[in-house]
Amino acid sequence: MDTVRGIGVSPGRSLGPLVRTTPAAPEPRRERVADADRDAAADSIAVAAEAVSDELRRAGQTVSGTGKEILETTAQMATDPALVGPAQAKVRDEGLAPARAVWEAASDVAATFASIGGYLAGRVRDVEDVRDRIIAELTGAGMPGVPLRAEPFVLLADDLAPADTALLDPEHVRAILTRGGGPTSHTAILARSLGIPAVVALGRAAQVLRDGVDVLVDGTSGVVVVDPDAAGRASVRPRRAARPFDGVGRTSDGHRVELLANVGDAATARDAAAAGAEGVGLFRTEFAFANAEVEPSLEAQVAAYLPVFASFAGRKVVIRTLDAGADKPLPFLTGESEANPALGVRGLRTSWEHPDVLDRQLAAIAAAAGRAEADVWVMAPMVATVEETDAFVAACARHGLERAGVMVEIPAAALLAGPILARASFASLGTNDLVQYTMAADRMLGDVARLTTAWQPAVLRLVEATCLGGAQQARPVGVCGEAAADPALACVLLGLGASSLSMGSRALGDVAAALARTSLDECRRLARIATDAESAEAARALVLAEVDWADELG
């Protein structure tokens, strides 16, 4: 048996024949059109782009939450004038055939994104996906992506486009393997939300995987076994439904810990409420306006917030102000030319030039809170200094929003947690970005994926520093990053001092089960083991060796 190893990003074991994604059509030849046909050929690009966009939007109506947001964003990119306009110009000015013109225009956009680096470099895959879809529409070739097959299978891809991950069917895709990607890529996040085992960053090791051959995928350890023996096959359990959650998070000795949900819209909020979430730990407001070319009106914002608040009447809802910038650009708020968007004007920093946008959002949040029964807390993303905290808390107070907090995503904020929380009412650790900025590793880049895990002891020590700052000021510190969805890591985070954990709603049952089997003192002991380890791999292995429920919870 051949065995290869990547990074496990979605737990569980699964078995099935290997199937590769349908490849995109090859690079079109540099053919030309007759002068008399140039206008019609140029127009065909816009028609094809609209067709692709419409199909993605229709697909978006069949899913909810993160999948819906991804499809709508990709649909918008398909008709982006920055892509369609230059492609049409290449037809009209140079006489290039439409398919070739789209290829060259998209290559220019992708090259620009790659040269900028950071989050925009991570969106090169999105540009290539849109390019391939438009070319397939123009030429009549098969649409690239996840194939349609009658029997279940294990899917192998270089790195799935976001639009593909959004349409994955857990009944047919038993597991996902990718050569690239990382723990916080779209593929990883969607796989976890769907309960599909996944291993990413296989790299060249994927060369031993052969079409049609059964592979055993362990999404916890990151191990993939080709043509496993009888014992390996017997170790695979049927895919189970999400573990139920009774709505009360507690350790085995009765210590209460709030188990909350991350949501992006009314649909995900309803799903989270149905799953028993005690409240919302992160309401991502920018997802409601991902396709907005202009700032949404106050009324439009109130209409977007009210259904989420209504789903959690009488319970806490932590709403984050617009986290625009980097991989989430908003035309009315963010610039277009930054050398490194991940380190640029994003999150709360957009209020430096656009304080009116933040002011109107706070007014909308206050208006919606006044018409709902939820306990509304407000937090700002990408806070780095005490001065920024002061300014945000004061802005919230002007609108009658008394629970004003900050996200801790930057090491500077973790190290200054004491004075920051002397001003703010609470803090929430965004572990995805905290990992990225601590390890100097782009969380969208597969080549450094092994660094981008919240098990890194350096990251855990920053979590501990933040929680200590909260304890000094008697302020709660929660976790709303992907780390909270890992049952073992959830115990460590609680042991480090976290007061609440927020995650995708599917993870609530497993995290609750792990906490219910572990005492608070044991969580603290596990936290010490993890922070004293010398590597992420050692931290994780040592903690898992200490608990008796690791196999049961996958």
Backbone torsion region of residue 411, taken as left when φ is above 0, otherwise alpha when ψ lies between -120 and 50, otherwise beta: alpha
* Separation CA 183–CA 151 (nearest Å): 28
Q: What element of type H or E holds 224?
A: strand 223-226
Q: Are 310 and 283 in contact (CB under 8 A)?
A: no
Q: What length is written for the chain?
A: 554
Selected catalytic residue, list 186, 396, 399, 467? 186
Beta partners for residue 378, in sequence order = 319, 404
Q: Where are the alpha helices (DSSP H) in 195-254?
A: 230-234
Selected catalytic residue, list 396, 399, 467, 480? 480
Q: Sign of torsion, CA 485 487 490 492?
A: negative
* Rounded-to-10 torsion of CA 273, 278, 284, 288: 20
Does the annotation mark 399 as catalytic?
Answer: no
Closest by CA to 485, choosing from 10, 164, 104, is: 10
* Separation CA 501–CA 257 (nearest Å): 7
Long-range contact set of residues 397-400: C-beta below 8 Å, sequence gap at least 24: 398/362, 399/362, 399/363, 399/365, 399/366, 400/366
Q: Are 459 and 478 in contact (CB under 8 A)?
A: no
Q: Distance between the two ends of the chain, CA-based, in angstroms?
A: 23
Active site residues: 186, 480
